[in-house]
Structure 1
């Protein structure tokens, strides 16, 4: 049984309106910019929501969480403000590495067709990890928390599928050589009514509910930030 369920995604931005417009147009979502400078993107289901949170700190390093998307052409994303960081085929990669207008990485996979009228379709949420062993451990941990299924390709790359409400095909845990050094600029929100159980499984409480927030800010066992909301919200 799942301990938590997917709620939505959050992206930090220096200019939430600019980043929000890019992702709204790329994924076919409706953009609302709030008076406080934050923005929110909404789709057909609540789980498709993406919050764009205005933050003072700029992007200083490669994101440890990024999105993979399916596209039939790169041109619409480039027209929206994306830039190519590494082309498909470079070093044998099967995708094009792009950056959004603030430098957040995304990987675009060219397909013959996609099941949306938007320029891009959500394919995977990708989280960097320290090693193949960490990929297996983190995928297994999240599959257990979310009541989902773990898969691997036999080469040290593990992913999670079958997550209830998850608006991507998979949650990928990818080994990389770089360590985590700063707060992730992309994080996720969960619905969970038993935060102590998450803590017992290895989460750390970074901030408990207080006069300003009604949710828990946590880090998973690998240090990735997330927020846990009670189901009443």
Structure 2
């Protein structure tokens, strides 16, 4: 293992409004000590530091489908609609076990209806890839997790790489290339130079963290241990 999971980050035009939405959907609380009333990052807190979600302000407009999206559990699609989401593709039409929805800023996510959804309802982060098996192998080396290959369906999964055993990182094939910065990313604790040696690309440094990109250009942030 070269690095470990730290937290999840979402970009938002209105962090306060989108943060309140995602707190309700996932089952987190808005942290009043780290969530200012003026425009700025909003922190959503949960059972551990690893469950934290940062909702950060961005000036980059959303132009394409999210290349990373969240999978969440819910008691019904209607209850998520009531929080401010809209249905993009119902499960009844797609034939899949989930409904594709969009958050109040248009970001896609998938809802899995459960008879008894857990209190913490985020169960997956899905990554669009040109080569999902290569991506899963790379991230598996970084996080010290052996990928599970679903060869018949063309995707791969990392289990136990996030803040709990339920959350999976799922790497799925798509035909389109990445063209804009992602509005969803995760943060790691690790060594920047080791990650670059493994094949990450250095983007830029800030006083508190370094921004890198994985082999397919997906941005992530690294904090020193």
Deviations 1:47-97 (A, max 9, x none): 011111111122111000000011221122111100000000323222100
RMSD of aligned C-alpha atoms?
1.5
Query: Of 128, 138, 141, which residue of structure 2 is paired with 1:144?
Result: 141
Residue of structure 2 in register with 1:183 after alignment: 181
User: In the aligned structure 1, how far is the partner of 2:109 from the partner of 2:141?
Assistant: 27
Query: Of 50, 57, 61, which residue of structure 1 is paired with 2:60?
Result: 57
User: In the aligned structure 1, how far is the partner of 2:66 from the partner of 2:169?
Assistant: 16
Give yes or no for the alignment of 1:221 onto 2:215.
yes
* TM-score where L is the length of structure 1: 0.90
Give yes or no for the alignment of 1:122 onto 2:122.
yes
* TM-score where L is the length of structure 2: 0.93
Residue of structure 2 in register with 1:198 after alignment: 195
**1:1-233 equivalences in 2 (<5 Å):** 2-31=1-30, 32=32, 33-34=35-36, 35-116=38-119, 121-130=121-130, 134-155=131-152, 156-163=154-161, 165-166=163-164, 168-192=166-190, 194-209=191-206, 213-231=207-225
- 88-97 or 171-180, which deviates more: 88-97
Q: CA 1:167–1:22 in structure 2 vs 1: closer, same or farther (change >3 Å)?
A: farther
- Count of matched residue pairs: 220
User: In the aligned structure 1, how far is the partner of 2:73 from the partner of 2:128?
Assistant: 20
Q: Any stretches of 5+ residues in structure 1 without a counterpart?
A: none
User: In the aligned structure 2, how far is the partner of 1:163 from the partner of 1:190?
Assistant: 11
User: In the aligned structure 2, how far is the partner of 1:7 from the partner of 1:77?
Assistant: 27
Q: CA 1:197–1:78 in structure 2 vs 1: closer, same or farther (change >3 Å)?
A: same
